[in-house]
């Protein structure tokens, strides 16, 4: 009964989201960009911050909070000033406007080439600066095969089954399993959102993850491999404005450094908000320290690479940098990310939700089979 009530609330929440986005689409046709449009959007932003409070489950509540309180709100704020994905096409249709606004999707402007082609700029030693100020070569991730996603879905199901025996496993091994669980679950959830948009609107979408366990540096991890949708929305909302301001103070060469830190500060605030939605507990700020630490380390990494590149070209071998990057990310996740997540019993609640969904489909299957048998007997 509790799950049924949650599903009912979920439907009401998303009906409110769709109506609000229809309102934004309508006035966007005749209200000029800038302060007038911002005034009309602020009530929707406030509503999108409130709606996740009406959901209590990890999967429905957490996903909704990420989709609307973070991504949709940032896109709407950009829309107020005539920027961002909602303004990229002046003739955008209502269904596409709604999908792009509330789903974590990034539309491919051009089909990806069979052979990756790299584009470079003439700053930052021949590399483009991405959302988090990462001096990395710009490249769209290649579409993944259905087999890739099927394998990750199978591994996620296997992890859930192994949790039945976690009292026999070392705690550190369980936390490693949690790392893969979060990654697999996020990728599958975002895949479902992308598949929905593709089925309804025929959109070609970019993958949201690019095998983050293959990262060769923090720049590579945060800029090109982990949750690419967040990266693309933080670029115009935080990174680029801070770069523009910082350039006047420290010059173009070093302007990305404060922009990186500013981006991670905003990310920390949004993660604290999402964790509050998940647990409804006062923040303990470990999540903020996690992102501030990564932001600081990324600033140091960029500064060191700039200093070295000025003198001579030097690159740490990938066989060394890759394991070090994964170890650093995993270690800081254990230290700062998991404690507040486990404090709100996210692991126990998530497994309970899987069991509830399984029981629902099992009961539905039995009811369908029983109804079919009764119908068959009546016909006989």
DSSP characters over 20-39: HHHHHHHHTTTSPTTHHHHH
pLDDT of residue 124: 35
Residues 6+ apart with CB under 8 A from 309: 125
Q: Considering the domain boundaries, does residue 116 fall inside one?
A: no
Q: Considering the domain boundaries, does residue 28 fall inside one?
A: yes
DSSP annotation of 119: B
pLDDT of residue 139: 52
Same domain, 169 and 235: yes
Same domain, 184 and 294: yes
Q: Is 48:79 a contact under the CB 8 Å cutoff?
A: no
Of 221, 210, 196, whose CA–CA distance to 102 is shortest? 196
Q: Which two tokens stand for residue 301?
A: 């990494």
Same domain, 313 and 190: yes
Q: Considering the domain boundaries, does residue 242 fall inside one?
A: yes
Same domain, 190 and 57: no
Please give the model's pTM, rounded to 2 decimal places: 0.83
DSSP annotation of 205: B
**CA gap 60, 62 in Å, rounded:** 6
Q: Which two tokens stand for residue 192?
A: 């479902």
Sites in the chain below the pLDDT cut of 50: 1, 111-138
pLDDT of residue 337: 93
Q: Can you tell me whether residue 143 is helix, strand or coil?
A: coil
Range of the domain at 73: 1-102
């Amino acid at each position: 009964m509790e799950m049924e009530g949650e599903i009912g609330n979920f439907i009401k929440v998303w009906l409110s989201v769709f109506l609000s986005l229809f309102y934004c689409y309508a006035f966007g046709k005749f209200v000029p960009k800038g302060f007038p449009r911002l005034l009309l959007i602020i009530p929707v932003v406030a509503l999108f911050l409130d709606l996740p409070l009406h959901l209590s489950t990890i999967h429905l509540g957490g996903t909704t909070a990420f989709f609307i309180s973070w991504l949709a709100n940032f896109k709407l704020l950009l829309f107020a000033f005539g920027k961002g994905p909602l303004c990229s096409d002046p003739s955008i249709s209502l269904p596409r406007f709604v999908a792009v606004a509330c789903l974590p999707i990034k539309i491919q402007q051009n089909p990806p080439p069979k052979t990756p082609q790299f584009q470079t700029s003439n700053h930052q030693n021949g590399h483009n600066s991405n959302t988090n100020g990462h001096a990395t070569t710009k490249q769209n991730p290649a579409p993944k095969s259905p087999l890739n996603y099927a394998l990750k879905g199978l591994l996620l199901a296997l992890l859930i089954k192994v949790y039945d025996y976690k009292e026999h496993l070392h705690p550190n091994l369980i936390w490693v399993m949690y790392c893969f669980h979060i990654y697999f679950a996020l990728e599958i959830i975002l895949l479902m959102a992308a598949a929905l948009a593709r089925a309804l609107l025929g959109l070609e979408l970019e993958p949201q993850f690019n095998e983050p366990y293959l990262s060769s540096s923090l720049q590579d991890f945060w800029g090109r491999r982990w949750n690419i949708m967040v990266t693309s929305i933080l670029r115009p909302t935080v990174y680029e404005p801070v770069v523009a301001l910082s350039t006047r103070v420290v010059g173009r060469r070093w302007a990305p450094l404060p922009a990186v830190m500013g981006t991670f500060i905003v990310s920390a605030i949004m993660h604290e908000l999402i964790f509050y939605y998940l647990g409804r507990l006062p923040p303990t700020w470990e999540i903020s320290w996690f992102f501030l630490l990564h932001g600081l380390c990324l600033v140091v990494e960029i500064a060191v690479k700039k200093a070295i590149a000025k003198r001579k070209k030097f690159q740490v071998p990938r066989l060394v940098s890759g394991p070090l990057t994964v170890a650093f990310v995993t270690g800081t996740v254990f230290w700062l990310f998991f404690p507040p997540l486990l404090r709100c019993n996210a692991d126990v609640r998530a497994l309970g939700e899987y069991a509830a969904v399984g029981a629902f489909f099992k009961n539905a299957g039995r009811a369908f089979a029983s109804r079919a048998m009764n119908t068959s007997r009546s016909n006989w």
